[in-house]
């Protein structure tokens, strides 16, 4: 199964109405809304790489200034289709100040000109591409001089990602014995969890899943003029109705703030 086939069959997050997509997204990541609201407005032209069904794009666009412009791309045409259908609901429920412009896009070959964007955001996407360094170089290419990127990538040493890698290895061994491809994924592929959304399927079905040390990231972002790296997120769901801080020494992600 190719990358595009997986994500089109399993759009990131839950299935259902707009309210269900939003609820599931921020129930599992209750720290994320607070972080998204720290993205500065009035920066001009924004790009999100790997927008899924649009949950983060809608929340960010509720905080921007009306003169800002927000573009959001995803490799899954089905995810983009769903995101477009949610625009009217988002306008009603989130009081959007900017309407996101959704389009199909490849993180390894962005369809934009050099030095086009003031701010680029990507959450948990680039580590699922076959060439993460190329994706980071593409971010650098389309970012304006002095522009800012906020990117979240899996942290090496995260218990959650480590467990996922063990499960993927177990599946690989079973595949060899049974002479099949992604045998556990096939058993689960029609059982998308209402609670976890696509998370469990991603563990067994997504073609690529990388994780990184801080040293790795310093090398990968070496072309940027400044880079700040912090561990963020939680390895297990935080059952909280309150927005919480995402900084966590044992976080599942590294949050990279990079300036060109």
Residuewise pLDDT in 10s, the chain (260 residues): 455 578 887 888 788 899 999 988 998 899 999 999 999 998 899 999 999 999 999 999 999 999 999 999 999 999 999 999 999 999 999 989 999 999 999 999 999 999 999 999 999 999 999 999 999 999 999 999 999 999 999 999 999 999 999 999 998 999 899 998 888 888 886 666 665 667 778 888 888 999 999 999 999 999 999 999 999 999 877 666 677 899 999 999 999 999 99
Sorted by where each starts, the structural domains of the chain and their CATH numbers stand as 3-157+208-259 (3.40.50.150)
Report how far residue 216's alpha carbon sits from residue 218's, in angstroms, rounded to the nearest whole number: 6
Spatial contact of 95 and 67, defined as CB atoms under 8 Å apart: no
Spatial contact of 21 and 197, defined as CB atoms under 8 Å apart: no
The H or E element spanning position 166 is helix 159-178
Report how far residue 170's alpha carbon sits from residue 168's, in angstroms, rounded to the nearest whole number: 5
Compute φ and ψ for 241, nearest 5 degrees.
-90, 0
- Counting Cα atoms < 13 Å in the Cβ hemisphere of 172 gives 10
Task: Show the tokens assigned to 54.
Answer: 């649009």
The H or E element spanning position 226 is strand 226-232
Spatial contact of 100 and 70, defined as CB atoms under 8 Å apart: yes
pTM of the prediction? 0.92
CA 176 vs CA 22, 62, 155, 185: distances in Å: 39, 48, 29, 14
């Amino acid at each position: 199964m190719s990358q595009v086939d997986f994500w089109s069959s399993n759009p990131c997050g839950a299935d259902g109405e707009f309210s269900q997509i939003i609820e599931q997204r921020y129930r599992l990541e209750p720290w994320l809304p607070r972080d998204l609201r720290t993205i500065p407005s009035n920066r001009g032209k924004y790009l999100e790489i790997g927008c899924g069904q649009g949950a983060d794009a809608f929340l960010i666009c509720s905080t921007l200034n009306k003169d800002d412009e927000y573009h959001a791309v995803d490799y899954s045409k089905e995810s983009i289709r769903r995101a477009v259908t949610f625009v009217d609901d988002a306008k009603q429920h989130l009081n959007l100040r900017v309407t996101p412009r959704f389009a199909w896009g490849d993180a390894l070959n962005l369809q934009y000109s050099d030095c086009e964007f003031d701010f680029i955001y990507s959450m948990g996407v680039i580590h699922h591409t076959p060439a993460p360094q190329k994706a980071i170089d593409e971010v650098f290419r389309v970012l304006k001089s002095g522009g800012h990127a906020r990117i979240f990538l899996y942290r090496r040493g995260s218990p959650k990602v480590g467990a996922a890698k063990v499960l993927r290895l177990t599946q690989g061994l079973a595949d060899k014995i049974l002479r099949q491809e992604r045998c556990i994924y096939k058993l689960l592929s029609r059982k998308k969890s209402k609670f976890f959304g696509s998370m469990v399927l991603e563990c067994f079905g997504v073609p690529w899943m990388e994780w990184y040390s801080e040293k790795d990231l310093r090398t990968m972002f070496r072309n940027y003029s400044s880079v700040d790296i912090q561990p963020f997120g939680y390895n297990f769901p935080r059952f909280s109705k309150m927005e919480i801080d995402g900084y966590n020494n044992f976080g599942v992600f590294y949050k990279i703030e990079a300036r060109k």
